[in-house]
Amino acid sequence: MRTENVRKQIEDKLFLDKLYGFAYKRCNHSEEAEDLCSDIVLRILKSINQVSEIENFNSYVWKIAHHTYADYCEKRRKQRERISMESYSENECTSMLTHSIEEYMENQEDRSQYTKIKREIGFLSKLYRDVMIMYYLDEMKVSEIAAKLSLTETTVKQRLFSARNTIKKEVEKMESRDLTLQPIHIDFMGTGSPIGNDPTVKAERMFSQNLIYLCKDIPRSAKELAEILNVPMPFIEEELEIQCAGANGEYGLLRKTENGKYIANFIMVEKTGIEQVNQMYQPKVDCFVEKIGAYLTKNEKEILDFPFLNKQVDLSFVAWSLISMMFWRYAEQVSKCLKEQYFSHIEERQEKYITCGEVGDSKGSIYEGFYGSDGIMAYNVCGYKMVKCQNIYGTRLDKHFACGHDIANDQQLLLTLQAIEGIKRDELSKQEQEVAAKAIEAGYLKIEEGYLYPKVLVMNTKDEQKFYELSYKIQGELKDLVEETVDDLYPLIKKLVPKHLLNEYKMFVTMTQLRLMDWVVEGCIQRGILSTPPNPICAEGTWIMVSK
């Protein structure tokens, strides 16, 4: 085999995997295995520069691997002997270090190839650690690990076997004692641009969430965390690095303090803390509902006279598309008042994405009673230059669509757009009749005098701001309620939010108001301020904007 082909063989992932497995079995931890594996690769690259052809690739490289390992053991033995001496020179310490790449590599091609292989070895190292963490800490089955890492079960078993041999003593400790992982679950929510910036994607495992929770408001060192969780230090140190880096390398769920300890980098509130805030909000619900009802009654003519493209006569139906904006006006005013009265000296945190979380013992608790809003947009659809669709969803309403939904491939939405000027029912094809039936069932369409028209609100995009302003005026009506809320909420913020995270008080406000909107919606339905949705999938809370 010519040396050019040998170079290609060395870069093969399967070969590197085997080479790393060889090193991993013979070392104390993954970092040491990386060093040994790198030394072997360096020796191979240096050796092939001195020959023109190699008869047997496997025999050649594994011979080098074993010789390198023998030298590695000798170097490690001498290093231990030197370290055990009470006095040694700085030069002697320096001689223990691995030589630089430049000393081994004769040309740029060799250096580039080595750098590429070094990255690959680093990746393999992570895979070996992942297998150990998933198997021993997350208690995943081999089949589950294989699916998670896109590996065969045989490969997982091989890596697990190598890892067992490598850190046998640590594994024995793990198997002989109970880990102190608790059934902690953190429900996350956030604001901003999550794609590539959401650190919570790195915290899906129970192990990760336990580690994060322990740093909620007390700075802890890696050693302290290892002792509390009864988990070997290498796993703790790696997980801390992951959680500090997050998804984008800039914003993680943990931060490292000046004294080398770790503390939470986002607001976490215990379920009991959320309940305290809920108790504060509950007496205010009736007042909030009354103010919404009074505001809508006062402005009924202006609201119903709005230039909808489909005439509206039912205020309680239209109010569904305004209720969330009214609530958000209230939330904005609460945050604004908090800043003016208590946090004017604090610079608010600015990130591409900011998260917060509720700590409980089961999934989904933070979203009980949650109401949200999603919008989608498309261009050049059904003769319209631009189309915007928005829908509210929550306890009473299911989503029609969410971010990323393709309007151009949604037959019900397309038919709804075509029906803005009316479609004669008798002129529909059989296929269109089936789509129309489903659109009627979903609340998109209605039938009037043999014609199909949109049941959801429809308006021109040029009137978008005017539509939103229908809810803005309620701010003046809510002033007293906002001030009362701020007076009661501030002591809870001081109690439940760590000092180093007070610059994220707005996230606390957002998270702790999630259930309030549900209570307000139910109160409005009971008083007839909002119409009662006939089904979870319906016309209420959905509107469409178009421009020709």
Residues 141, 110 share a domain: yes
Is 158 found in the same domain as 47? yes
420 lies in the same domain as 502:
no
**Is 231 found in the same domain as 360?**
no
Considering the domain architecture, whether residues 40 and 120 belong to the same structural domain is answered as: yes
Q: Is the pTM of this model over 0.85?
A: no
Contact 319, 471 (CB under 8 A): no
In this model, does residue 87 exceed pLDDT 50? no
Cβ atoms 184, 359 nearer than 8 A: yes
Give a yes or no: residue 177 inside a domain.
Answer: no
Q: Tell me, yes or no, whether 178 lies in a domain.
A: no
Q: For residue 545, is it within any domain?
A: no
Task: Determine, yes or no, domain membership for 234.
Answer: yes
Task: Please state, in angstroms and rounded to a whole number, the distance separating the CA atoms of residues 90 and 82.
Answer: 11
Q: Are 22 and 120 part of one and the same domain?
A: yes
> Same structural domain for residues 141 and 245?
no
Query: What do you get for the CA distance between the two ends of the chain, in Å?
Result: 68
The C-alpha atoms of residue 56 and residue 523 are separated, in whole angstroms, by 80
Last residue of a domain, one of 107, 139, 171: 171
179 domain-assigned: no
Q: Residues 491-522: pLDDT tens digits?
A: 999 999 999 999 999 999 999 998 999 999 99
What domain range is 251 assigned to? Answer: 185-265
pLDDT for the residue numbered 109:
57
For the chain, what is the mean pLDDT? 85
Domains of the chain: total: 4
- Asked if residue 133 has pLDDT above 90, the reply is no
In degrees, rounded to 5, the angle at the alpha carbon of residue 346 between the alpha carbons of residues 345 and 351 is: 155
- Tokens read off for 263: 């503390």
- Using CA atoms, how far residue 66 sits from 22, 31, 36, 160, 403, in Å, is 9, 19, 11, 22, 55
* Domain match, 329 and 416 both: no
Residue at which a domain ends, from 414, 439, 459: 459
Report the C-alpha gap between 520 and 510 in whole angstroms.
15
The answer to whether residues 354 and 436 belong to one domain is no
3-state secondary structure 220-279: ECHHHHHHHHCCCHHHHHHHHHHHHHECCCCECCEEECCCCCEEECCEEEEHHHHHHHHH
pLDDT in tens, 215-261: 999 999 998 998 888 877 767 888 898 999 999 999 999 999 989 99
In a domain, 547, yes or no: no
For the segment 284-318, what is each residue's pLDDT rounded down to a tens digit? 999 999 999 999 999 999 999 999 999 999 999 99
348 in any annotated domain? yes
Report percent pLDDT > 90 for the chain.
53
Predicted local confidence at residue 183, as pLDDT: 77
In a domain, 543, yes or no: no
Give the end of a domain, one of 171, 205, 224. 171
User: In the beta sheet, which residues pair with residue 356?
Assistant: 189, 267
Are 285 and 204 contained in the same domain?
A: no
Shared-domain flag, residues 414 and 444:
yes
Count how many Cα atoms sit within 13 Å of the Cα of residue 183 in the half-sphere of its side chain: 4
Q: Quick one: 150 and 207 in the same domain?
A: no
- Alpha-carbon Rg for the chain, nearest whole angstrom, is 32
In this predicted model, which residue has the larger pLDDT, 389 or 81? Answer: 389
Higher-pLDDT residue of 373, 387: 387
